[in-house]
Structure formats: C-alpha cells, structure tokens
Amino acid sequence: MPHAVTQSCVGDGSCVYACPVNCIQPTPDDPAFDLAEMLFIDPATCVDCGACVSACPVDAIKPHHELEAGEKAFLQLNAAYHQVPRNRPTLAPVRPRLRVRDFGIPLDVAIVGSGPAAMYAAEELLTIPGARVTVYERLERPNGLVRSGVAPDHRRTRRVSGQLERIRRHPRLAMRLGVEIGADLTHDDLLVQHHAVIYAVGASTDRRLEIPGAELPGVASATSFVGWYNGHPDHAGHAFDLSQRRVAVIGNGNVALDVARMLTVDPETLVDSEIAPPALAALRSSAVEEVSIIGRRGAEFSSFTLPELIGLTTTSNLNVVVDPAELPMDAAADDAKLALLRSLPSEPGPTGRTIRLRYGLAPQRILGADRAEGLELAATDDGGSTTIEAGLVLTAIGYRGLPVPALPYDASRGTVPNDAGRVTGDDGAPMPGTYVAGWIKRGPTGFIGTNKRCAQDTVAELVEDHNAGRLSTARAAVT
Ligand code: NAP
C-alpha cells in the first residue's frame, strides 16, 4: 500500500531526502518546488518503506490504510501530480555542503527573529564547523508565525515547532529573548558584536483595505484576529464582537479560510489545542452562524490552496456552500480545485454553521452608522451592486512587512530591498554584513518549508561574502 502526503505538509523537503527511490516530488532543486501547494508521493513507485514518515516533522505522511475518511482525497491528489511523467534521478539531488574559507576565527552571525526563516538560516549556518549563531527575538517566546500564525486546530502543522526547538538546542546557538533591535540594541551594535546579521523578521502587519467605513467598529484585520486566538502579546487585548450572526471575510487566501474555520468550528474541538483561553471562552459563547468569504475575482483565481479546501470541506458539522452561478462555466476539466468547488452544495444543510464562498465581488463600502452592519460589493463582471449583512468584517487581503530600523525599506512591497538576500542600499550597493531571509526578503508568500530554501540561499550569499573577505571575519584575521 503506498503512502500519501496530507494537508499538514509544510514542504520543508525532509521526506524527499529520506526516500530511497525519489518518489516524492517536487524536490527542492526543482523550479516547481517554490510554487507547489504541497509535496506528492508517486503511488506507482513508492516502496512503502515508511522512511518519509519518520523524516516528516509534522506527521503529514500516512500509509494508505491509516488515512482518515476526510484524508482519502489526498491519495488521488498525490497520484494526480505524478500522472505527468517526469525524468528524475534515482535519488533526489542533495544540496552541496557550504565551502567556507578558514580565516582562523569562527564565523559569528546574529539572526533577528525566531520563526522558520530565522531557524532554518541558523540550522544552515551551524553546519559550518565552529560557527556561532545568536538569535535575537523581540518577544519573550520564540517561533514567530509557527506559534502566532498557524491556526490552533492545525495541530499537526504546529508540530513543526519541535523541529525549530531542536535547532534552538544546538550548543553553538544562543537565544536572546525579549530583545528588540532598534530599541534595546541597534543594527550597529549587532555588527560590532557579530560578523554579519540576518534579519528574518517576517511580515508582521496586514495590508489595509482602504474603502469608506473601514474605520468603523466591527471591522478588523485577520492579522489581529489570528494574533488574538493565538495569544500574541500585541493582539491579546483585542476584543471581537462575536454576538453577530453574520461575518464577512474579505480576501480568499489560506488566512481567510483559517479565520472563517475558527469562527465556525465546534469550540469543544479546540479544548486541547494551544488556543488562547480568552479566545476559546469567546468562541464558546459566539452567536456566529454564517461566514461569507469574499473573492474579488472568479473561483479559478481562489487564493486558498487545494489541500486547505479539502480540509475545510471535510470539517465535521460545517456546511461549505457556493452558488454554482458564481463558478466559471468553461474552466479546464483537470482543475481539481474547481472540481471540488463544483461538488459543493449551494445551500447549507439543516444543522451546523456555514461558510459561504462568494466570487467576483469587489468590496466598495462598509455599511453602518456607528458600527459595521454590512458590506456593499460591486460585481466585477457587470459592475452591478449588491449588499450583504455582516456585523463583523475581517480583512484578509495579505500580510505586509514593517520597516526595519537602520535598513532601507520598499514601501510598495513591504520588504527590505535585497539582492538574493544581501540588503541593498538606495544606490543598489550591498550593505556590508547585512542580509534578509523569509517574508521580509521576498514578501508574504509560500509555506513554512519555502523559508528553508530561502534561508539557505541567503546563507550561501553570506558565506560567499565571508570567503571573498567582505565580512569583518577577514579584517579580524589580519589585525
Ligand atoms: P494571499 O494568499 O495572498 O491572499 C490574499 C487575498 O486577498 C487574495 O484573495 C486577494 O485577491 C485578496 N485581496 C488583495 N487585495 C484585495 C482588495 N483590495 N480587495 C479585495 N480582496 C483583495 O494571502 P494570505 O491569505 O494572507 O496568505 C499569505 C501566505 O501565507 C500564503 O502563501 C498562504 O498560503 C500562507 N498561509 C498558509 C496557510 C496554510 O497552509 N494553512 C495558512 C495561512 C497562510 P486577488 O487574488 O484578487 O489579489
């Protein structure tokens, strides 16, 4: 019986290198890797050894016979990826080891942030004999978005924190929690104490929806809602009015799916999760009956991923509905996401809460005098106008990186300008010893594992600068 990768896949590629027959694709060297929604096992060549099961940090891989009812769809999804034959070597190509010039002093690097990009950068640096890493984290607790971004009911995905913890335990890594760069220490302080600095500070705010009424009580960002239910100290004090029966979520990425699901799942299923206790208490007394997820474009442009849609549609006691008139007539027959959307009912069953997927509706205005009462939407095909009732409106239209003290900032992208990870100044020249990794480098896209390749690429640039004598490692060796 073959194995299958399921919803919690974080795409860090650990399974790929464990597989003795290279049947898990795409591999990290493949250009398709960065765009893939998950990794896929070829059932025709899987030898059922289970090596991938042990390697996966989030228990995403299961043998055929252990798949739960809601996971059976992943068998077909894994197989479908391999229906297009691809040439592949017997084993996945391994990334070559870093070749590091010996200047007589060990490389010492500061990393700012402690989420996946930061810790994968640390892991790569610590493969260098003698190299030291100090991780500076603003909060008193580490892990970045793994702790404060992944939904509490995604328990298996949250297990990636075990992988980050293992990296943190490395004897040549020091953690400095509760230290804010720009307030407690400056960038120059870091460059005095270390040979280089990698900023992996993520994208900690949200893109703003600038429409009339967006400032009304009852309108909030998904970022603050996610931070609230995960107990992030910046958001723990927020309050959300869950006495409302109808909620609208603007945007249809995976964050929109997360917040809509958290508002509609049975709160008793969250009891043994890491949800913040005040959020659990609020959800227990919630009056929310229906959440509409509003996409401004057609269903073929849904920003959520297929694995997350499968997970949503198999959530117990939840109705996920879509009006067939809002689905395209002429989409490609092999589009699995659209096929699943087409199989959904148009109206909810008699029990359970409801998530309604809406398409082709651009938000125009939040309705209401003293607080949000609804949403005015313009149909993107004919410009017609429609309204929906919503006492709570959450905007989930993407994250955005904040400026980093002492570093240049690209306000249009919410990132730090860089050339393959080397921070570049206004003149385009690299800032000595200064690097970025993760969402502050490339913007808020991809999955937890995408940050591994991203961080490794940044470390490769840093090592190239070290080898070329462009870091103070070389100066220290001369003086
Ligand atoms: P996202 O996938 O970029 O989705 C943003 C959504 O906002 C899109 O539907 C976009 O529509 C819409 N939007 C943008 N501007 C808008 C506007 N002015 N009016 C109306 N709609 C607007 O972002 P995200 O959901 O924040 O996710 C960020 C990243 O984290 C993604 O890579 C995601 O996969 C990842 N993530 C993964 C998980 C998971 O795997 N469980 C969970 C959370 C996040 P258009 O497409 O039309 O621009």
Q: Could you tell me the distance, in angstroms and rounded to a whole number, from the CA of residue 307 to the centre of ligand 1?
A: 15
Q: Which helix (H) or strand (E) holds 231?
A: none
Q: How far apart are CA 113 and CA 65, in angstroms?
A: 40
- Residue 360 CB less than 6 A away from ligand 1: no
Atom of ligand 1 nearest to the CA of 302: 9
143: left (phi over 0), alpha (psi -120 to 50) or beta: left
Among candidates 194, 199, 198, which has minimal Cα distance to 107?
A: 194
Q: How far apart are CA 397 and CA 401, in angstroms?
A: 14
CA nearest ligand 1 atom 41, residue: 254
CA nearest ligand 1 atom 14, residue: 397
What is the separation of C-alpha 279 from the centre of its chain, rounded to a whole number of angstroms? 21
CA distance to 31, 76, 280, 282, per residue, from 82 (Å): 16, 10, 41, 45
Give the residue extent of every domain in the chain: 3-81, 108-204+401-478, 207-398
Q: Could you tell me the distance, in angstroms and rounded to a whole number, from the CA of residue 444 to the centre of ligand 1?
A: 9
Correct CATH for 207-398 of 3.40.50.720, 3.40.630.30, 3.40.50.300, 3.50.50.60: 3.50.50.60
- Residue 253 CB less than 6 A away from ligand 1: yes
Third-level CATH fold of 3-81: Alpha-Beta Plaits (3.30.70)
Per-residue model confidence as pLDDT tens digits over 186-209: 999 999 999 999 999 999 999 999
Among candidates 2, 12, 27, which has minimal Cα distance to 59?
A: 12
- Report pLDDT for 476: 56
Correct CATH for 108-204+401-478 of 2.40.50.140, 2.60.40.420, 1.10.260.40, 3.40.50.720: 3.40.50.720
- Report pLDDT for 87: 86
54: left (phi over 0), alpha (psi -120 to 50) or beta: alpha
Q: Could you tell me the distance, in angstroms and rounded to a whole number, from the CA of residue 209 to the centre of ligand 1?
A: 13
- Residue 396 CB less than 6 A away from ligand 1: yes
CA nearest ligand 1 atom 2, residue: 253
CA distance to 227, 286, 294, 309, 400, per residue, from 247 (Å): 18, 12, 11, 19, 23
Cβ atoms of 116 and 163 within 8 Å: the answer is no
- Residue 445 CB less than 6 A away from ligand 1: yes
Q: Which residues of 252-274 are buried (b: 16+ CB within 10 A; e: fewer)?
A: bbbbbbbbbbbbbbebeebeeeb
Q: Could you tell me the distance, in angstroms and rounded to a whole number, from the CA of residue 130 to the centre of ligand 1?
A: 41
For the chain, what is the total number of helices (H) and then of strands (E)?
A: 16, 22
Q: How far apart are CA 276 and CA 279, in angstroms?
A: 5
Instruction: Report the DSSP beta bridge partners of residue 353.
Output: 318
DSSP string of 254-306?
HHHHHHHHHHHS-GGGGTTS---HHHHHHHHT----EEEEE-SS-GGG--S-H
Q: Could you tell me the distance, in angstroms and rounded to a whole number, from the CA of residue 302 to the centre of ligand 1?
A: 9
DSSP string of 134-157?
EEEESSSS--THHHHTS-TT-HHH
**Which of 10, 12, 254 gets mutated to test ligand 1 (max ligand atoms within 8 A of its CB)?**
254
Q: Position of tokens 């020249």?
A: 429
- Residue 398 CB less than 6 A away from ligand 1: yes
- Report pLDDT for 3: 97
Cβ atoms of 304 and 257 within 8 Å: the answer is yes
Q: Could you tell me the distance, in angstroms and rounded to a whole number, from the CA of residue 416 to the centre of ligand 1?
A: 20
CA nearest ligand 1 atom 11, residue: 251
Q: At what angle do helices 277-284 and 222-229 cross, to 10 degrees?
A: 110
Q: Enter the tokens of residue 313.
A: 């549609």
- Residue 311 CB less than 6 A away from ligand 1: no
- Report pLDDT for 34: 87
CA distance to 7, 94, 145, 299, 304, per residue, from 252 (Å): 18, 36, 19, 10, 6
CA nearest ligand 1 atom 26, residue: 398
**Half-sphere exposure (Cβ direction) of 392: Cα atoms closer than 13 Å:** 24
Q: Enter the tokens of residue 58.
A: 């989030």
List, for the chain, all residue ranges whose pLDDT scores fall below the cut of 50. Answer: 479
Among candidates 62, 11, 67, which has minimal Cα distance to 39?
A: 11
Q: How far apart are CA 168 and CA 171, in angstroms?
A: 8
CB atoms within 10 A of CB 36: 19
- Residue 13 CB less than 6 A away from ligand 1: no
